[in-house]
Amino acid sequence: MRGYMTKRLLFAIPTLLSASLIIFFIFALTPGDFVDNDPSLPATRAAELKAIYGLDKPVLERYLHWISQAIHGDLGYSLKYQMPVISVLKTYILNSFILSSVSLALTWIISIVLGILSAVRRYSWYDSLVTLLVFATMSFPTFFLGLLLIKVFSVDLGWFPVGGMQTTNTNATGLAYIWDVSKHAFLPVAVLTIASIGSITRIVRTDMMNIIKQDFIRTARAKGLKEKTVVYKHALRNALLPAITLLGLEIPFLFSGAIITEQVFNWPGIGFINMQAISFRDYPVLMGFTLLVTVVTIVGNLLAEWLYAVADPRIRLK
């Protein structure tokens, strides 16, 4: 398996280079740039700024300069924030990671539990209730759900802050700081979890229903094993194989942020910053962020393949 993973890593290099080429040319060939976004600039000053930022050079030359810098960890300079792109990403990507990681963990834990119980008690009132709730959560638009939670829990009940990441003008540190951030993060985490829980629950339920009908499950029961051992040790391990692929695709979500949710709750994450970068045509930030997500996506796919072999010994990667 080590040789297979090494080969996949080598194949990832041309994939990443091809992706970087597409990413750069999409933004480079888009009409307008950061300088053109300010129509009040005199023509001479606009030309001077384009020369300073290298926007007057040929596209291919600009790409070669950008990719050579990216290889050395330099993703360019943000025109809006007037700081290196890597510093912008470091500043805001952690905020998105806080929301996404907690939401992802809660989503998978709740979905696996609900999916297993629905499969074991299939066609019961419990299964019908879970199915109803799952389809209901999948039907709610994210922005509507976020505004609804703000109306109920922030405006009417006053339990949680309306938005932001910290209380204005607070100097809290230590546990007080963690508690303050946790209160602000509760509603956006709830929105992300509710919006994601449905699809994974359905996948786990469907796979579990197929697995528990297999011959090896009947054999395990015939040996006198406890039902919990049959379900959680034998059936669940096989049922999670299709879900592993989905997990690999969701890993980039940890770093890409949730643009709509962060906008609704005014959470200073990377999704919120990307919306501002689009408005100001700050293409270095957008290109650097997209390249980062591409790298994480490739790593997520490799991790999913490795987890396949771990979860099912019958799979041998060659």
Q: First CA to last CA across the chain, in angstroms?
A: 6
181-230 pLDDT, tens digit each: 888 888 888 888 888 888 788 888 888 888 877 777 778 778 777 777 77
- Supply the pLDDT for residue 33: 67
Q: Extract the tokens encoding 121.
A: 């008690």
* Predicted pLDDT at 265: 85
**What average pLDDT does the segment 55-67 reach?**
80
Contacts of residue 17, Cβ cutoff 8 Å, sequence gap at least 6: 67
What distances in angstroms separate CA 41 from CA 48, 83, 127, 203, 289, one per listed residue?
A: 11, 21, 63, 55, 28
Name, in order, each residue with C-beta under 8 angstroms of 183's C-beta and a sequence gap of 6 or more. Answer: 160, 161
For the entire predicted model, the pTM comes to 0.75
Backbone angles phi, psi at 317, to 5 degrees: -85, 125
- pLDDT at residue 29 in the model: 76
Tokens of 205: 């339920």
Contact call for residues 85 and 274 (beta carbons, < 8 A)? no
**CA–CA separation, 276 vs 59, rounded Å?**
24
Longest dimension (CA), the chain: 85
pLDDT number for residue 301 = 77
Look up the CATH superfamily of 86-311.
MetI-like (1.10.3720.10)
pLDDT at residue 37 above 70?
no
Between 268 and 238, residue with greater pLDDT? 268
Is the model more confident about 129 or about 38?
Answer: 129
Instruction: Note the Cα 77 to chain centre separation in Å.
Output: 24
Query: Given this model, what pLDDT does residue 4 score?
Result: 65
Please name the residue that has the structure tokens 């080969």.
7
Lowest mean pLDDT, pick from 164-168, 189-193, 250-254, 296-300? 250-254
- For residue 255, what pLDDT is reported? 66
DSSP, collapsed to helix, strand or coil, labels residue 160 as: coil
Model confidence at 71, pLDDT cuts 50, 70, 90, reads: confident
Asked whether residue 38 carries a pLDDT value surpassing 70, the answer given is: no
Q: At a CB cut-off of 8 Å and minimum separation 6, what does 299 contact?
A: 251
Domain ranges of the chain: 2-84, 86-311
Determine the 3-state secondary structure of 83 from DSSP: strand
**Exposure of 73 by Cβ count < 10 A (0-12 exposed, 13-18 middle, 19+ buried)?**
exposed
315 — pLDDT class (breaks 50, 70, 90): low
CA distance 103 to 71: 32
